[in-house]
């Protein structure tokens, strides 16, 4: 488990169920156990809580504080071993805010750490929640012998229609005020700004749309951005990729946009990761797992399939958008751009028809990069069309950033815009907030399962070839 950063994520519906039990009207402490699956990024290790195990009769005592009996722990560990999961020990404190640990808390969790690791092969996860539903969390990592080290989590994330994040302010301090983002702070408010800019944001694809998303987040003061794209700047990118010039032709897009952000960012500190890999490769995939929210600025079905998996199996909301331009007899007749956020309690990208698995299989076979295959498709086939202009990209990027703000802050009473579609003709934005996944949707059953049974990354020959061509 040797990672330097730690986090916890839980579906909002499960968190709500646990809070109803833990936050008591009599303001006494209570406890329960839960099961979790691991999500291993490049630098961050995350526990995905998927099943609370509530105490049964005789499992625990309440006496102002709370304690559990051995039968409860045995039942939980048996279930964890059956499901190849980790064990989380969760309790409440009758005070608000981020919770430290009492001496009794430390002793109790240290005693649990050894047996839990021995039985499950995964470290004990401890969580505490205060009366205002703010969480703190830590892993107990084996050092040597009977010694376990406490590793505090940076964040605990509740993921559903909105994204609620409990920050460990010691590890992720609030941003210092700067005149550069005075107007931004005035609009969103101090607390909303502090929540937004501390999120770890991944942008998958930094071409026409992604470059505009990156620039907006940079100027808003976001402190941790990851750019994932294997492609290079080509001459036909210059009319719609922000900051790219003729001198950049042949350079990696992530390098060009990293230079842009280094020039424009308003944060007093910034972590900027540029990953010249496909999301379909291990390096790109694991870099995405280090993020709290992902922007899907891609135009291929395989990447969207993977991002949809991350939204549910790894509890990382994905803000996705795409542009379709229409022609009749080679004359422009209109354009639509659609965007949506995929996460638990929202419809997935597959059920929305954003991609289909037949196209994913076609791409994996390499046919989408085979000119003879593309030439054989009808001129009206969806895989032949990727027209775009900078005005379309800029508008879509702005709408995507607004979806992020709603998701995180719920400002002005809006936390979910639903599916939005801008229609150039007649110039309106349509909204569909009623869509749901199909009953048989596989992604619902994979929620918070991580990559326990399979993963989706592998080889990407196009990415490998393109990196060799980069200057």
Q: Residue 387's Cα: distance from chain center in Å? A: 28
> In this structure, are residues 325 and 385 in contact, taking their beta carbons and an 8 Å threshold?
yes
User: What's the average model confidence in pLDDT over 286-294?
Assistant: 99
What is the spatial distance between Cα 225 and Cα 222, in angstroms, rounded to a whole number? 7
Which range (1-5, 54-58, 190-194, 230-234) has the least confidence? Answer: 1-5
Q: Quick check: 467 pLDDT over 80?
A: yes
Which pLDDT score, from 0 to 100, does residue 328 have? 84
Write the pLDDT tens digit of every residue in 8-27: 999 999 999 999 999 998 88
CATH topology of domain 5-167: Cytidine Deaminase; domain 2 (3.40.140)
Which pLDDT score, from 0 to 100, does residue 21 have? 95
User: What's the average model confidence in pLDDT over 307-332?
Assistant: 93
Continuous segment of H or E residues that includes residue 338: strand 331-342
Residue bearing tokens 């709290």: 292
The alpha-helical segments, DSSP class H, found in 46-102 are: 70-82
Which pLDDT score, from 0 to 100, does residue 433 have? 82
Q: Quick check: 159 pLDDT over 70?
A: yes
Write the pLDDT tens digit of every residue in 391-408: 999 999 999 999 999 999
Strand partners, 6: 45
CATH topology of domain 179-469: Rossmann fold (3.40.50)
Write the pLDDT tens digit of every residue in 240-265: 999 999 999 999 999 999 999 999 99
Q: Quick check: 1 pLDDT over 60?
A: no
Which pLDDT score, from 0 to 100, does residue 139 have? 98
Q: Quick check: 68 pLDDT over 90?
A: yes
Which pLDDT score, from 0 to 100, does residue 217 have? 98
Cβ within 8 Å of residue 311, ≥6 positions away: 294, 317, 318, 342, 343, 348, 349, 443
If you write DSSP's letter for every residue of 159-219 in order, what string do you get?
A: ESSSEEEEE-TTTSPPPPP-GGGHHHHHHH-HHHHHHHHTSEEEEE--SHHHHHHHHHHHH
Write the pLDDT tens digit of every residue in 182-208: 788 788 899 999 999 999 999 999 999
> In this structure, are residues 153 and 137 in contact, taking their beta carbons and an 8 Å threshold?
yes
Mean pLDDT of the chain: 93
CA-based angle 370:256:269, to the nearest 5? 135
Which pLDDT score, from 0 to 100, does residue 17 have? 97
Which pLDDT score, from 0 to 100, does residue 165 have? 98
Which pLDDT score, from 0 to 100, does residue 157 have? 99
Which pLDDT score, from 0 to 100, does residue 434 have? 82
Q: How confident is the model at residue 103 (pLDDT cuts 50, 70, 90)?
A: very high
Q: How confident is the model at residue 153 (pLDDT cuts 50, 70, 90)?
A: very high
Domain boundaries, the chain: 5-167, 179-469
Q: How confident is the model at residue 371 (pLDDT cuts 50, 70, 90)?
A: low
Which pLDDT score, from 0 to 100, does residue 264 have? 95
Write the pLDDT tens digit of every residue in 263-277: 999 999 999 999 999
The SS3 call for residue 62 is strand
Q: Output DSSP code: residue 232.
A: B
What is the spatial distance between Cα 329 and Cα 63, in angstroms, rounded to a whole number? 78
If you write DSSP's letter for every residue of 10-38 in order, what string do you get?
A: EEHHHHHHHHHHHS-TT----EEEEEEEE
If you write DSSP's letter for every residue of 126-159 in order, what string do you get?
A: EEEE-TTS-EEEEEEEEEETTEEEEEE-SEEEEE
Which pLDDT score, from 0 to 100, does residue 3 have? 62
**Closest Cα to residue 344, out of 18, 10, 83?**
10
User: What's the average model confidence in pLDDT over 291-312?
Assistant: 97
> In this structure, are residues 292 and 197 in contact, taking their beta carbons and an 8 Å threshold?
no
Q: Quick check: 163 pLDDT over 90?
A: yes
């Amino acid at each position: 488990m040797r990672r330097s950063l730690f986090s916890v994520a839980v579906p909002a519906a499960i968190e709500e169920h646990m809070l109803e039990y833990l936050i008591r009207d009599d303001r006494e402490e209570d406890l329960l156990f839960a099961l979790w699956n691991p999500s291993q990024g490049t630098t961050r290790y995350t526990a995905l809580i998927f099943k609370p195990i509530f105490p049964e009769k005789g499992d625990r005592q309440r006496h102002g504080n709370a304690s559990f009996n051995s039968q409860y722990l045995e039942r939980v560990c048996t279930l964890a071993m059956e499901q190849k999961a980790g064990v989380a020990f969760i309790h409440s404190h009758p005070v608000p805010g981020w919770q430290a640990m009492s001496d009794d808390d430390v002793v109790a969790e240290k005693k649990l750490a050894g047996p839990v690791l021995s039985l499950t092969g995964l470290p004990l996860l401890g969580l505490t929640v205060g009366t205002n539903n703010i969480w703190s969390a830590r892993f107990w990592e084996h050092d040597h012998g009977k010694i376990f080290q406490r590793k505090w989590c940076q964040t605990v994330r509740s993921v559903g229609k909105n994204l609620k994040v409990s920050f460990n302010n010691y590890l992720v301090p609030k941003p210092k005020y700067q005149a550069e983002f005075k107007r931004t702070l005035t609009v969103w408010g101090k607390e909303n700004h502090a929540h937004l800019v501390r999120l770890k944001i991944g942008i998958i694809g930094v071409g026409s749309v992604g470059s505009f998303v990156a620039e907006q987040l940079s100027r808003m003061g976001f402190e941790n951005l990851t750019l994932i794209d294997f492609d290079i700047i080509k001459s036909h990118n210059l009319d719609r990729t922000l900051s790219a010039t003729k001198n950049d032709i042949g350079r990696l897009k992530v390098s060009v946009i990293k230079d842009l952000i280094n020039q424009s960012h308003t944060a007093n500190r910034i972590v900027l990761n540029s990953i010249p890999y496909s999301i379909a490769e291990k390096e790109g995939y694991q870099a995405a797992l280090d993020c709290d929210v992902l922007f899907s600025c891609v135009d291929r079905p395989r990447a969207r399939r993977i991002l949809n998996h991350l939204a549910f199996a790894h509890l990382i909301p994905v803000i996705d958008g795409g542009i379709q331009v229409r022609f009749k007899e080679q004359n422009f007749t209109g354009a639509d751009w659609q965007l949506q956020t995929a996460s638990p309690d929202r419809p997935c990208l597959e059920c929305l028809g954003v991609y289909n698995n037949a196209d994913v299989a076609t791409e994996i076979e390499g046919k989408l990069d085979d000119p003879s295959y593309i030439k054989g498709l009808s001129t009206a086939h969806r895989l032949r069309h990727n027209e775009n202009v900078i005005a379309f990209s800029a508008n879509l990027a702005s709408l995507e950033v607004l979806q992020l703000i709603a998701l995180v802050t719920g400002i002005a009473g809006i936390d979910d815009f639903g599916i939005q579609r801008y229609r150039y003709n007649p110039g309106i934005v349509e909204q569909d907030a009623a869509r749901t996944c199909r009953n048989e949707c596989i992604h619902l059953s994979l929620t918070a399962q991580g990559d326990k049974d399979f993963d989706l990354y592998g080889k990407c020959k196009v990415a490998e070839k393109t990196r060799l061509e980069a200057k």
